[in-house]
């Protein structure tokens, strides 16, 4: 240990920091230090249980009773801070405007405007900001989009009204009116789920969604029996001229001794999904096929066996909290503090306890994670922390350095495609739609943005006559309101970048690459250089004002609304020089396009893409 000088706070500095910064919001990022800047330090993390403050010291350098002083807003913080203390790491709060951005993208699916930053974050505690974002309706709406990927909505396979109904259940869950276990029970026998998958793929999907793993072969073969009574038959949506797979309960499939066996699972305590025939005289009668509206409460109690079975298992709850951790932290949350999360059982158990004590509220679990130190701490690496770029990824020594401990920093994640596109729209005021491109701007108000309806990725039309089509209602912007024809430009563009998936031909992905870069450049340029886009200019801004004051105003406006932060003095000065240089070439850089150029540059930065 003598040769391994630790990069930690001294107790004095720790206490000093606490007394000056604590968990006050508004601290400028960069002025705080995650760790001591001791020149002799090398950024190595302490193994848990070892103290590093000096020879013979038994007390951890970061006291474990930080909560009273820091005013912990999450019940998780005590556990988290204890873990930090064991490793002599002190979390530093994220700057309020950057936390605002993190929360907005995570909970609303887009960056916040500066007005929203001032309203929800400046001068507010992190917990107050979390609550403000969670209380807005966008919180549930965005959660619905996320769950669309879990259930792999595809309206060419599943009737759109089934999907609409399941989507509403997700909304209820995030509004706090439906518990997670009850949601799972209803979802597992929901027609939108049942008609989505064939054969034992249904069991696989159920496990993937609610148990965070695929089902084993034996589980698939056995547990599919809990769904055998369900059947899909031809239905017709006469309102919208669509044929669809109507989900019914076919009592005949589980009647009789042999068939009963096909509807009786034995794993995990076993369960039987058998309902008595309605028409006993004629067992094969169509009267023994029940529509969903014919099911009684007692029928549903029997049919509900999959949900009962799932929620009886611990893994069901562990999967739920792991999903929340993974979603908000971004890094492999299965490994926290350098060890598998199962080895930090307190944290997981606390979240499960919250889930139980809140009556199954997933919202409550999310709130605790969002308000915790893991989430609200700064994502920046202080200059004093040495980088480890010279060492390979699997270098053991380098992997013990604080530079390589994701949990020692607040999360920095790449935006999903829709969040990225919505953020650009929000900033530039640009709706990427057919109507805009074709110049029919009178069709759409500036408030109408491009969008894809996560429920209906395909939107196939109903056929009234051979020549007459109509589309069912959706949340797409409309290209032809007379027949509800959606404007697909946003959707199709998003698909090039991995968004708006239909989970068959188009799947969700988030990444970077040459093609994604080119495609995203096209979108950015469309948004910034479309003359109808104006959000990149301050209100009442004179585009021809190229005075230092005018340009500074433009720079600050764009940084605040695009990157959700103020520019540093260096950035203002650099940008000013570049802009003035550009202006000198008046043929290439007329003043009125200068703001658009800055817009395009900022939108393409990684500072914008990551949050």
One character per residue 397-416, x = contact with another protein (rule: CB under 8 A): -----xxxxx-xx--x-x--
**Helix, strand or coil, per DSSP, at residue 432:** coil
Minimum CB–partner distance for residue 596 and another protein (Å): 7
| Joined tokens for residue 564 | 């959700």
Return left, alpha or beta for 580; rule: phi > 0 is left, psi -120 to 50 is alpha, else beta: alpha
Among residues 96, 126, 429, 498, the one that binds another protein under rule CB under 8 A: 498
Which residues in 98-157 contact another protein (CB under 8 A)?
156-157
| Joined tokens for residue 519 | 């495609």
Which residues in 360-399 contact another protein (CB under 8 A)?
379-381, 385, 387-389, 393
Q: Which residue from 76, 99, 104, 85 is spatially nearest to 18, judged by alpha carbons?
A: 85
Minimum CB–partner distance for residue 606 and another protein (Å): 5
- 4 forms part of the interface with another protein (CB under 8 A): no
Q: Indicate the angle between helix axes 362-370 and 160-175, nearest 10 degrees.
A: 60
Which residues in 10-69 contact another protein (CB under 8 A)?
30
Among residues 509, 544, 545, 573, the one that binds another protein under rule CB under 8 A: 509
d(CA 539, CA 557): 9
DSSP letter, residue 377: B
Q: Which is nearer to another protein, 310 or 523 (CB)?
A: 523
Backbone angles phi, psi at 213, to 5 degrees: -160, 165
Minimum CB–partner distance for residue 476 and another protein (Å): 17
Minimum CB–partner distance for residue 31 and another protein (Å): 13
Minimum CB–partner distance for residue 9 and another protein (Å): 17
Minimum CB–partner distance for residue 588 and another protein (Å): 4
Instruction: Show contacts of 507-512: CB within 8 Å, 24+ apart.
Output: 508/149, 508/416, 510/414, 510/415, 510/416, 510/417, 511/414, 512/414
d(CA 490, CA 471): 18
Q: Which is nearer to another protein, 143 or 224 (CB)?
A: 224
Q: Which is nearer to another protein, 128 or 384 (CB)?
A: 384
Which residues in 453-482 contact another protein (CB under 8 A)?
460-463
Q: For the chain, how are helix, strand and coil distributed in percent, rounded to 5?
A: 50, 5, 45
d(CA 403, CA 388): 7
Which residues in 259-318 contact another protein (CB under 8 A)?
none
d(CA 280, CA 276): 8
- 349 forms part of the interface with another protein (CB under 8 A): no
| Window contacting another protein (CB under 8 A); options: 252-260, 354-362, 543-551, 568-576 | 568-576
| Window contacting another protein (CB under 8 A); options: 1-9, 135-143, 215-223, 505-513 | 505-513
* Beta-bridge mates of residue 230: 249
- Residues in binding contact with another protein, number by CB under 8 A: 74
Minimum CB–partner distance for residue 202 and another protein (Å): 12
Backbone angles phi, psi at 371, to 5 degrees: -90, 0
| 40 Cβ neighbours under 8 A, 6+ residues apart | 5
DSSP 552-587: HHHHHHHIIIIISSPPPHHHHHHHHHHHHHHHHSTT
- 609 forms part of the interface with another protein (CB under 8 A): yes
- 424 forms part of the interface with another protein (CB under 8 A): no
Minimum CB–partner distance for residue 76 and another protein (Å): 21
d(CA 194, CA 172): 20
Among residues 266, 312, 515, 573, the one that binds another protein under rule CB under 8 A: 515
- 604 forms part of the interface with another protein (CB under 8 A): yes
Minimum CB–partner distance for residue 592 and another protein (Å): 10
Among residues 113, 326, 525, 580, the one that binds another protein under rule CB under 8 A: 525
| Joined tokens for residue 566 | 């103020």
Among residues 26, 437, 582, 591, the one that binds another protein under rule CB under 8 A: 582
d(CA 87, CA 337): 9
Q: Which is nearer to another protein, 186 or 560 (CB)?
A: 560
Q: Which residue from 404, 368, 372 is spatially nearest to 7, judged by alpha carbons?
A: 404
Is the separation of the CB atoms in 121 and 94 below 8 Å? Answer: no
- 580 forms part of the interface with another protein (CB under 8 A): no
One character per residue 158-197, x = contact with another protein (rule: CB under 8 A): ----------------------------------------
- 573 forms part of the interface with another protein (CB under 8 A): no
| Joined tokens for residue 230 | 């369900």
- 339 forms part of the interface with another protein (CB under 8 A): no
| Window contacting another protein (CB under 8 A); options: 126-134, 169-177, 304-312, 593-601 | 593-601
Among residues 114, 433, 575, 595, the one that binds another protein under rule CB under 8 A: 575
| Residue 486 CB burial class (10 angstroms; 0-12, 13-18, ≥19) | buried
Minimum CB–partner distance for residue 299 and another protein (Å): 25
Q: Which is nearer to another protein, 112 or 245 (CB)?
A: 245
Backbone angles phi, psi at 223, to 5 degrees: -75, -15
One character per residue 210-249, x = contact with another protein (rule: CB under 8 A): ----------------------x-x------xxxxx----
| Joined tokens for residue 476 | 């797409």
């Amino acid at each position: 240990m003598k040769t391994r000088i630790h990069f930690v706070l001294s107790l004095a500095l720790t206490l000093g920091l606490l007394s000056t910064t604590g968990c006050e919001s508004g601290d400028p990022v960069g002025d705080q230090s995650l760790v001591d800047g001791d020149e002799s330090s090398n950024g190595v993390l302490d193994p848990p249980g070892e103290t590093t403050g000096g020879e013979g010291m038994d007390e951890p350098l970061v006291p474990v009773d930080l909560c009273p002083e820091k005013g912990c807003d999450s019940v998780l913080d005590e556990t988290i801070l204890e873990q930090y203390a064991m490793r002599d790491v002190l979390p530093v709060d994220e700057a309020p405007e950057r936390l605002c951005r993190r929360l907005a993208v995570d909970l609303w699916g887009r960056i916040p405007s500066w007005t929203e930053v001032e309203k929800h974050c400046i001068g507010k505690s992190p917990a107050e900001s979390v609550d403000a974002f969670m209380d807005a309706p966008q919180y549930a709406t965005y959660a619905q989009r996320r769950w669309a990927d879990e259930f792999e909505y595809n309206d060419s396979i599943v009737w759109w009204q089934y999907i609409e109904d399941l989507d509403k259940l997700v909304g209820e869950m995030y509004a706090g009116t439906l518990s997670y276990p009850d949601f799972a029970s209803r979802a597992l026998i929901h027609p939108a789920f049942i008609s989505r998958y064939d054969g034992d793929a249904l069991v696989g999907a159920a496990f993937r969604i609610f148990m965070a793993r695929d089902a084993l072969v034996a589980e698939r073969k056995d547990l599919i029996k809990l769904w055998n009574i369900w059947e899909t038959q031809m239905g017709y949506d006469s309102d919208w001229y669509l044929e669809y797979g109507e989900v019914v309960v076919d009592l005949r499939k589980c009647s009789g001794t042999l068939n009963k066996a096909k509807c009786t699972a034995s794993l995990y305590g076993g369960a039987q999904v058998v309902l008595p025939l309605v028409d006993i005289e004629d067992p094969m009668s169509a009267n023994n096929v029940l529509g969903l509206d014919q099911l009684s409460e007692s029928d549903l109690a029997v049919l509900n066996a999959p949900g009962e079975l799932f929620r009886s298992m611990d893994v069901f709850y562990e999967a739920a909290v792991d999903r929340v951790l993974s979603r908000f932290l971004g890094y492999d949350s299965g490994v926290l503090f350098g060890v598998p999360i199962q080895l930090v059982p307190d944290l997981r158990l606390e979240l499960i306890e919250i889930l139980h004590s809140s009556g199954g509220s997933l919202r409550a679990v999310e709130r605790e994670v969002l308000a915790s130190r893991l989430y609200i701490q700064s994502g920046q690496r202080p200059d004093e922390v040495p980088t480890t770029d010279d060492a390979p990824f699997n270098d053991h020594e380098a992997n013990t350095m604080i530079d390589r401990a994701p949990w020692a920093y607040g999360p920095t994640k790449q935006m999903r495609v829709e969040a990225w596109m919505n953020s650009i729209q929000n900033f530039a005021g640009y709706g990427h739609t057919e109507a805009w491109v074709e110049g029919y701007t009178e069709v759409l108000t500036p408030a109408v943005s491009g969008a894809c309806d996560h429920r209906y990725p395909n939107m196939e039309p109903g056929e009234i006559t051979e020549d007459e089509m109509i589309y069912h209602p959706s949340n797409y912007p409309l290209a032809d309101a007379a027949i509800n024809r959606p404007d697909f430009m946003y959707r199709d563009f998003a698909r090039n970048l991995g968004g708006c998936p239909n989970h068959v031909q188009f799947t969700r992905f988030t990444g970077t690459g040459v093609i994604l870069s080119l495609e995203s450049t096209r979108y950015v340029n469309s948004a910034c250089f479309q003359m109808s886009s104006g959000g990149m200019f301050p209100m009442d801004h004179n585009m021809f004002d190229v005075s230092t004051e005018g340009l500074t105003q433009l720079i600050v406006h764009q940084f605040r609304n695009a990157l959700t932060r103020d520019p540093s003095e260096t950035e203002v000065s650099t940008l000013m020089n570049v802009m003035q240089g550009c202006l000198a070439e008046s043929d290439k850089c007329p003043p009125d396009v200068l703001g658009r150029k800055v817009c395009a540059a900022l939108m393409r930065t990684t500072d914008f893409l990551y949050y």
